[in-house]
A and B are shown apart, each in its own frame.
Chain A
Amino acid sequence: MVATPERLGDLWVSRELLRNLVGKELKVRYKGSALGFLWSLITPLLMTAIFTVVFATFLRIELGDGNFATFFLSGYLVWQFFSNSVNSSVGAIVANGPLIRKVYFPREVLPLSLVLSQGVHFLLALVATSPLIIYYRGFHPELVPAVLIGLVLLTAFTAGVSMIFAAANVGFRDLQELTQVLFLGWFYATPIIYALFFVEDNAPQFLPLIRANPMTWFVELFRRMLYGTPAREGLNPPPAWPPLESWLVCGAWAVGALAVGYWLFNRLAVTFAKEV
């Protein structure tokens, strides 16, 4: 078992590779499509349109003076980053089998490069949809640092989960299929199309479950900074600095997931070249 400081040193030496792989992901994605970056915006906007019609118009979800589209979008962008990262990372080791069998490099750069390139998409999507959010929810430049800190925490959490999935998939190839199903369920277990108060009011017995879901905390964190506080009736308070509790819980999940993910990944990574 190689000591962790040495492994971290390897990762530091490979930062160049990591940067090039992130660049590759972004370039490959945007090359050869005229609309380029717009494509990664179309999914969240389309989803927002569909969910808004279904939930705000057909089902008449009440959000007081709030706006369902921005409410949904502020959670969905966070979810999309997490979900896309893990779902692309899960097969990353197996898909890069030929490279792993032929070259030594710290294997974690493969999932990390995917997470970071999704992070860039997330950031671009945030910038691109900001006019909508500013129009409905007001302009709050003082929250930019908070959003950036939130992004760091979310990225750390996502990286940890992605490493766990990527490493586990080498031993259990069925995980790739399973992940899609799991994430479908996970999406509904996260308050993206609903606000937490709906659960409190209508099904409080589910509340512990929803709160145990780390993505609940990250979605709530970003929603507070982008949308504000959802309420059933009357005023939906505007975007604000999230409470300390949110920061602490998100921070704990981020550090925990990253530590466990990195440790587990490195434990399993030594035999990747034999197994892929």
Chain B
Amino acid sequence: MAEADDAPAIVVEDLHEIFRIYKERPPGLKERLYRFRRADFTEFHALNGVSLTIRHGESVGLVGHNGSGKSTLLKCMARILPADRGTVTLGGRVATLLELGAGFQPDLSGRENVYLNGSILGLTRREIAASFDSIVDFAGVRDFIDTPVRNYSSGMYVRLGFAIAVHVDPDILLVDEVLSVGDAGFQEKSLARMRSFSERGKTVVLVSHALEAVESLCDRVVVLEHGQVIFDGPTEQALTSYRRRLAGGASEPAAVEAVETDPDGDGRARVADAVLTVPGHDPAGPVPSGAKARLDVDVRAVDDLVGRGGLTVGMVLRRPDLPSAVYETRTSWRVTYVAPPPPGESLRASFEFELNVLTGTYLIDVLLGNAETDVVHDVRRDAAKIVVRAEEHDAGIAPLGVRITLDNPEGVWPPESEPPPMSEGGPRFHPARPRAGHDQRQPQG
């Protein structure tokens, strides 16, 4: 039930959340001592002064591209993360669904895990006992309820976790991407459950990438960007504006579109050097296909980028005669966090790879940008050039490791034996021998 008085369900005031990105994790004693001499972490502002008030009975969606701070905001509301500045005030019992089956113990039975997980989610023993049958039926695991969950299929595991979660009956429900697991039927079921929850006048805050789900459930949407609220209003309006932003290339996948919008970069950080080495070979001359290569990229920060999100360093391997890249990667695509160095200092990103390409001249471009926004700092085109010489029997871009077998035993002969004459289906030329002097030679044309 919604509170009788008009006290809001959630009040967030000027909330800041700052993460320290350590260069070396986890910090041990050695790093601690070292840190007395020099700070070896950078600060990252995941939330930058967020204020919003959510009244009882509202269903609010939080959207924004990856890294915009949605989950962080939800975790602050859930009291999982402390506010570094500002306050979060809650008016009612809160349940958070960030993960299904949180804390499941593989060695315990389904029944024991229902009680354990239920109490982690804040249910009392009596509440769990009262909805136990309903939970088990919802999950459809009645026959296995006394089996250790270690033996559950992943589907059963998720269904049981979900069944417990939806039986949590708080005043305020905070949900993060739980909807994205499971099949369509499962998602429909969970959406229906949340809808009935909000119809009963409860407060729901939902973080989701599934804009349709947000659309069908929420009457208000908050759009976040760089840890700030950039839009807060009715769902339709908010999603229209958000979709326009997405289409306008102002968002994910961040750096990809940025290359087209700002080809030279803003110069706030520079690719200082990019050196390609091919161990055992002279990188100036042709190298064999499959050779191991290494690209060392030195990156120097020009401005103070600390606190503006991570860097991404990317490499593109291309062949000038082809319209699209042969290969491309970024540190951010690999979920690697690259902390920006302090101004004037540099860091090195090394890419080790195999030149699994066929004969041709290849060029490498290096790109440097912000991992979370659309900003490109620097692009160095043609940073390195490499000539690959592959075996003669393939053509194209990539060796596919092809083996050929023929279902035609009479037509195949070993290279050292004589092939049948041409009149019996033999070849015009023996492929393994020089053409000149071969007695099977026929007049051309």
Residues of chain A touching chain B, judged by Cβ–Cβ distance below 8 Å, are 13-14, 16-17, 19-21, 23-24, 27-28, 31-32, 94, 96, 98-105, 171-175, 178, 270-271, 273-274
B182 contacts the other chain (CB 8 A): no
Q: Is the CB of B105 within 8 A of A24?
A: yes
Given A20-B119, A102-B99, A104-B96, residue A174 in contact with residue B29 (CB < 8 A): yes
Q: How far is the CB of B58 from chain A (nearest CB, A)?
A: 21
Report B62 CB to chain A, min CB distance, Å: 17
What are 20 residue pairs bridging A and B, where the CB atoms are less than 8 Å apart in the complex? A16-B125, A21-B116, A24-B112, A24-B116, A28-B105, A28-B107, A94-B26, A98-B99, A102-B96, A102-B99, A103-B80, A103-B99, A103-B103, A103-B121, A104-B80, A171-B27, A172-B28, A174-B28, A174-B30, A274-B82
A274 partner residues in chain B, CB cutoff 8 A: 19-20, 81-82
CB < 8 Å neighbour of A103 from B19, B26, B102, B124: B102
Q: Which of B20, B105, B120, B124 has the most CB of A within 10 A?
A: B120
Q: Does B428 contact A (CB under 8 A)?
A: no
What is the 8 Å Cβ interface bit string for chain B, positions 150-184, against chain A (1 contact, 0 not)?
00000000000000000000000000000000000
Alpha-carbon distance between A77 and B53 when the two chains are bound, in angstroms: 55
Residue on B nearest A31 in the bound complex, by CB: B107
CA distance A14 to B79 in the complex (A): 15
A105 cross-chain contacts in B, Cβ below 8 A: 120, 122
- Does the CB pair A172–B32 fall under 8 Å? yes
B29→A103 contact, CB < 8 A:
no
Closest chain-A Cβ to B41's Cβ sits at a distance in Å of 11
- Taking the closest CB of chain B, its distance from the CB of A14, in whole angstroms, is 8
Distance A28 CA – B103 CA, assembled complex (angstroms): 13
Choose from B28, B30, B82, B120 the contact partner of A99 (Cβ within 8 Å): B120
A102 touches B80 (CB 8 A): yes
> Which of A24, A32, A98, A274 has the most chain B CB atoms closer than 10 A to its own CB?
A274
A99-B103, A102-B99 known; A20 vs B115 contact (CB < 8 Å): yes
Interface footprint category on B = 20 to 34
**Interface residue from B29, B108, B124 paired with A28 (Cβ < 8 Å):** B108
Known: A99-B120, A103-B96. A172 touches B29 (CB 8 A): yes
In the complex, which residues of chain A have a beta carbon less than 8 angstroms from the beta carbon of B30? 174
Bound form: Cα–Cα A270–B122 in Å = 19
CB distance from A113 to the nearest CB of B (A): 11
Say if the beta carbon of B384 comes within 8 Å of chain A: no
Given contacts A104-B78, A171-B32, A178-B29, 19 further A-B contacts (CB under 8 A): A13-B122, A14-B119, A23-B112, A27-B107, A27-B112, A32-B107, A98-B102, A99-B103, A101-B75, A102-B80, A102-B98, A103-B102, A172-B29, A173-B28, A174-B29, A273-B75, A273-B81, A274-B20, A274-B82
**Contact mask for chain B residues 107-146; partner A; CB cutoff 8 A; 1 contact, 0 none:** 1100010011001111111000000000000000000000
- B102's partner among A21, A99, A273 (CB-CB below 8 A) is A99
A16, A28, A172, A178 interface centre (most CB from chain B within 10 Å): A16
Contacts A28-B105, A103-B98, A271-B82; is A20 near B29 (CB within 8 Å)? no
Distance in Å: Cβ of B20 to nearest Cβ of chain A = 8
Q: How far is the CA of A207 from the CA of B341 in the complex (A)?
A: 54
CB nearest to A271 among chain B residues: B82
Q: Which residues on B sit within 8 Å (CB–CB) of A99?
A: 102-103, 120
A96 contacts across to B, CB distance below 8 A: 103
Is B80's CB under 8 angstroms from A273's CB? yes
Partner-A contacts on B (CB < 8 A): 19-20, 26-30, 32, 75, 78-82, 94, 96, 98-99, 102-103, 105, 107-108, 112, 115-116, 119-125
A105→B120 CA distance, assembly (Å): 7
Inter-chain CA distance A14–B20, complex, in Å, is: 30
Q: Quick one: closest A residue to B94, CB to CB?
A: A104
Please indicate the chain A residues that have their CB under 8 angstroms from the CB of B119 in the complex.
14, 16-17, 19-20
Chain B residues positioned under 8 Å from A23 (CB to CB): 112, 116
Q: Report Cα–Cα, A178/B124, bound state, in Å.
A: 38
Residues of B close to A32: CB separation below 8 A = 107
Q: Are A16 and B124 in contact (CB under 8 A)?
A: yes
| A16 CA to B123 CA, complexed, in Å | 8
Q: Is the beta-carbon distance between B26 and A173 smaller than 8 angstroms?
A: yes
CB closest residue in chain A, given B19 = A274
Q: Do B27 and A173 have beta carbons less than 8 Å apart?
A: yes
A241 to B26, CA, bound (A): 49
B309 CB, nearest partner CB in chain A, Å: 17
Query: Least Cβ distance of B177 to chain A in Å?
Result: 11
A182 to chain B, nearest CB (A): 13
Closest to A270 in B: B82
Residues of B within 8 A of A100 (CB): 80
CB-CB < 8 A to B108: which residues of A? 24, 27-28, 31
CB neighbours of B98 from chain A (8 A): 102-103
Complex contacts, B75 vs chain A, CB 8 Å: 101, 273
State A104–B102 Cα separation when bound (angstroms).
Answer: 11
Complex CA–CA separation, A253 to B305 (angstroms): 50
**7 cross-chain pairs, A with B, having the tightest CB-CB distances, nearest first:** A270-B82, A17-B119, A174-B29, A102-B98, A174-B28, A102-B99, A104-B79
List of B residues within 8 angstroms of A270 by Cβ: 82
Bound-state CA distance A254–B20 (Å) is: 36
B122 cross-chain contacts in A, Cβ below 8 A: 13, 105
CB distance from A133 to the nearest CB of B (A): 34
- Taken together as a complex, chains A and B put the C-alpha atoms of A178 and B28 apart, in Å, by 11
Of A13, A24, A28, A175, chain B has the most CB atoms within 10 Å of the CB of A24
- Min Cβ gap A39→B in Å is 16
Measured between alpha carbons, how far is A60 from B97 in the docked complex, in Å? 63
The winner among B98, B108, B119, B125 for most chain A CB atoms within 10 A is: B119
Tell me the bound Cα distance from A103 to B120 in angstroms: 8
A13 to B20, CA, bound (A): 32
B residues in contact with A98, CB < 8 Å: 99, 102
Docked CA distance A48–B19 (Å): 50
